[in-house]
Amino acid sequence: MSLPLIDYGRTGRTLDFPVFDAHAHVGNFTHVISPSLEKQVAEMDHVGVQVQMVSSIESIYGDISRGNDQAAAAAVRYPGRIFAYCQISARYPELIRSEMERCFRNPVFKGVKVYQVGVRYDDPLFTPVWEFARDRGVPVLAHTWGGDVKGFDKVAAAFPEVAFLAGHAGSGFAYQPYVDMAKRHRNFYLDLTYSREHTNMIEYFVEQVGTGQMVWGTDVPTFSISQQVGKVLYARIPDEAKRAILGGTAFKLFKI
């Protein structure tokens, strides 16, 4: 008889089914002492995470190209375990298309990462990103917070072929905007990374949206892998749903 998934959390047993971290980083935040890449991968092994999608913290702070090179270097160092997001910013519109083309010459890049940074996602500045993701068939991880997803109505409708992952779905205790958007657009996915949820947030998302539109991530190094996986293992949902959230859906989206 197979072990109930909640018992993996209770006993600290390494997960032995496909687990995909769709939202992680490499590098250092100014206020966080990041583990080395070796320790990051060792923690993946300890918890049982097979694949991690990373973007660079350097890119978040504005050094787009250097950050993307760091993400690629991590992926090259741990082939098959780490893959990279090409991060771009509407603050540097002149770099958007050329940087994505440069990144995707390297097969370790499997998705695009974007931030609003004062520009709504339905702004035409982002159109080359959505076109690129559509043409390449890759998902887009978009940073969101506190239910601010209004720009996705137009974008998700205009680009139904693109899988949009709404980072930090449920953050700021704002559940309904994410649920409503996911119900309107089947290509809009809830990314549970750090969601600071009340009790039953995951249960509510599963009830309203279903696991076919949910992915899981850690936000490493901001949070630990074990801490972020625990909220799924202990959720009051069927084990089949937990498996889908922790990896099943993401492996299909990223074709890994």
pTM: 0.95
Q: Give the distance from CA 62 to its chain's centroid.
A: 19
Q: Each residue of 129-175: pLDDT tens digit?
A: 999 999 999 999 999 998 899 899 999 999 999 999 999 999 888 99
Rg (CA), the chain: 17
| pLDDT recorded at residue 197 | 60
The region, left, alpha or beta by phi > 0 then psi within -120 to 50, assigned to residue 171 is: beta
Residues 232 and 22: beta-carbon distance below 8 Å: no
Confidence check: pLDDT of 1 > 60: no
Q: Is 202 exposed, middle or buried (0-12, 13-18, 19+ CB in 10 A)?
A: buried
DSSP H or E segment with residue 42: helix 37-47
| pLDDT recorded at residue 196 | 65
1 or 141: which carries more pLDDT confidence?
141
| Three-state DSSP class for residue 204 | helix
- Among 19-33, 79-93, 105-119, where is mean pLDDT lowest? 19-33
* Structural domains counted in the chain: 1
Determine the Cα–Cα distance for residues 127 and 121; give it in Å rounded to an integer.
9
| pLDDT recorded at residue 236 | 95
Token pair of 211 as six digits? 């696991």
The CA–CA distances, whole Å, from 118 to 56, 90, 127 equal 20, 9, 16
Residues 198 and 171: beta-carbon distance below 8 Å: no
| pLDDT recorded at residue 229 | 96
CATH number of the domain where residue 165 is located: 3.20.20.140
Residues 13 and 7: beta-carbon distance below 8 Å: yes
Confidence check: pLDDT of 247 > 60: yes
DSSP 230: H
Residues 6 and 199: beta-carbon distance below 8 Å: no
Write down the mean pLDDT value for the chain.
93
Domain boundaries, position 169: 5-10+18-254
Q: Each residue of 176-208: pLDDT tens digit?
A: 999 999 999 999 999 999 866 667 899 999 999
DSSP states of 77-89: HSTTTEEEEEEEE
